[in-house]
Chain A
Amino acid sequence: MLGLRYIQLLLVLVCSILAAAKSAVGSRTLVVFDDRVDDLSTYSEFFNLLKDHEFDVTTLELSDKSTKINLFERDTRLYDHLILFPVKGKHYSKQLAAKKLIRFNEDGGNVLALTVPQVSSDPIHLYLNQLGIYPSPRTQSLHDLFQDSTDLLFSVEQLENEIVYSNSNEKQQDSFNFGESVSAALLDNREQIVPILQASKTSFTSGNKSREASWTDGSQGYVVAGFQNLKNARSTWIGSVQFLSNKHFKQNQDLINELISWTLQEKAVIKATEVNHRHSGDNQTSYDELPYKVTDNVTYTVSLTQWDGQKWVPYVSDDVQFELRQIDPYYRITMIPQGPSPQDPTSELYSTGSFKLPNRHGMFTFVTDYKRSGLSYVHEADVKAIRHLANDEYPRSYEISNAWVYLASIATVIISFIAFVLFFISTPASLSEGVSTEKKTN
């Protein structure tokens, strides 16, 4: 029995080691390509990598006009990921209009798009323009004053995002080969855009005609850029196809791997599992049992979990913040990680500790708004009412030491009033009258 159990355990362990990273959202992948532009066999290593990542790859060749692309069956999405190689022709622009791509992305599908300067892939360009990524137009390709234009190299230092590509010791490559005919893009300054690989300072784009103005100059251009929409679906654009080819695959493998992992949501995927707030103290009564009133002590907790490629694990960070908002934030507290959550060990529990609600009543929002470039966005909001004090919940004036002065003066006034009334009644109106009465009594 014990032996069997050990064998089972071993099997599970071996399986978990063998299995490569998996996507958090699904594995159905559609690859769209055109035989007239490129032969798919030059990218066999790239497809092997996709298979290693356990993606269920469907390829669609577009040179035949009868081929139809269906991203949706009625209203259900057919694929989780879409990889677009450069494709020629009008047929393609009809089949894969920018609108369709945007709908696919908005529905949660991830897009990896490649463009080259020789081919004008209009729908891809339109789609990227909608995201705020503007690749160089047709015929404009990237050159470098200090490099051979047929073998453009980019160093690791030009990578901009630590989350997409972290410089750890395991990775040995210090430069990536993008081959020839690379297109560079200008980026909008949107917060959803994740700049990944910047063009070098000595690079520029130029076309065939010498008079043509350059699209990008120096480091304003980007060759790889990402985009994450508010539903956490990702798009990545790469300005070269030779970057993926077998010829340069060995040199670029690390970056390709990381780009696939990021775009197809195998890493940097986080989510909130449990959001809670309650009264501080031993009872920990919830809002439902006892609504909050001003200056109550309250504790807010949130649990965050991260997809590591196999399973959900606790996400640990020191910059998760909580906000208590009523139009403006009244509180912004950096939460402290408390270790794995007792309810759900796969997520990390963050707590604000006990804090005092502001002395202001009204509708307040309890928010965790954790948005970091490259990571999934976490936005958890809960609107709750904070009531004012009831008329019998204020402290009595004699409990407040300041009010003793005013209490004493009121007492003085009342006592002296009584004394005044007594004196007033007992005193005769005028001195002369008083004298006369005295005389009379005498």
Chain B
Amino acid sequence: MAPVMQKKKNPVQKDDIKKDFAEAINLALTSYKNQIKNNRKLRLIDIFAAMLVFIGIFQTAFVGIIQDNYPFNAFLAGFIICVGQFVLLMCLRLQLTHPFEGISKSKAFGEFVIASLILHFTCLHFIN
């Protein structure tokens, strides 16, 4: 009797994991949809972030396809501006959803703009 019990038990466990996983994803998706449903600014941020990810992947793929990283500083500048902008965007997004104590949303946006300008300035100089 015991082996039969075990056989039954295993598929149940696998199904459980799958179910849990799907449930977790569904939960995350629904909460995300809820989050951006009524907030255009968050949607705007996410679209911009997706674009940055795409540009970054595109440049890496370019280096891989031509098998040469010759103006390496140029590649670094192009890639770092994507990563940096993405990080700054995420910081802004965090502060919009969960504002820090003592920092208003508009102040956070101002800081984001200044930090981004410094990033652009640095990258433009780095690419020479």
- Across the interface, which residues of B come within 8 angstroms of A416, CB to CB? 48, 51
Alpha-carbon gap, A83 to B128, bound state (A): 74
Alpha-carbon gap, A328 to B116, bound state (A): 48
Contact among B41, B71, B85 with A417 in the assembled complex (CB-CB below 8 Å): B85
- Contact, CB under 8 Å: A428 / B40: yes
Q: Any chain A CB within 8 A of the CB of B38?
A: yes
- Contact, CB under 8 Å: B40 / A400: no
- Across the interface, which residues of B come within 8 angstroms of A428, CB to CB? 40
Q: Any chain B CB within 8 A of the CB of A414?
A: yes
B61-107, CB < 8 A from A: 62, 66, 68, 70-71, 73-75, 77-79, 81-82, 85
Which chain B residue lies CB-closest to A428? B40
Which chain B residue lies CB-closest to A417? B116
Contact among B44, B55, B127 with A423 in the assembled complex (CB-CB below 8 Å): B44
Q: Any chain B CB within 8 A of the CB of A420?
A: yes
- Contact, CB under 8 Å: B38 / A394: no
Q: Any chain B CB within 8 A of the CB of A424?
A: yes
Say which size band chain B's interface belongs to: 35 or more
- Contact, CB under 8 Å: B52 / A427: no
Given the known A-B contacts A397-B127, A406-B127, A407-B74, are A413 and B38 also in contact in the complex, defined by CB atoms under 8 Å?
no
Alpha-carbon gap, A355 to B48, bound state (A): 51
Which chain B residue lies CB-closest to A406? B78
- Contact, CB under 8 Å: A431 / B38: yes
- Across the interface, which residues of A come within 8 angstroms of B48, CB to CB? 416-417, 420
Instruction: Write the nearest CB–CB distance from A32 to chain B, whole angstroms.
Output: 72
- Contact, CB under 8 Å: A432 / B71: no
25 contacts between A and B (CB under 8 A): A397-B71, A397-B73, A400-B70, A400-B71, A402-B66, A402-B70, A403-B74, A406-B71, A406-B75, A406-B77, A409-B58, A409-B81, A410-B123, A413-B52, A413-B81, A413-B120, A414-B120, A416-B51, A417-B85, A417-B116, A417-B120, A421-B113, A423-B44, A431-B38, A431-B40
- Across the interface, which residues of B come within 8 angstroms of A396, CB to CB? 128
Contact among A397, A406, A423, A432 with B38 in the assembled complex (CB-CB below 8 Å): A432
Q: Any chain B CB within 8 A of the CB of A405?
A: yes
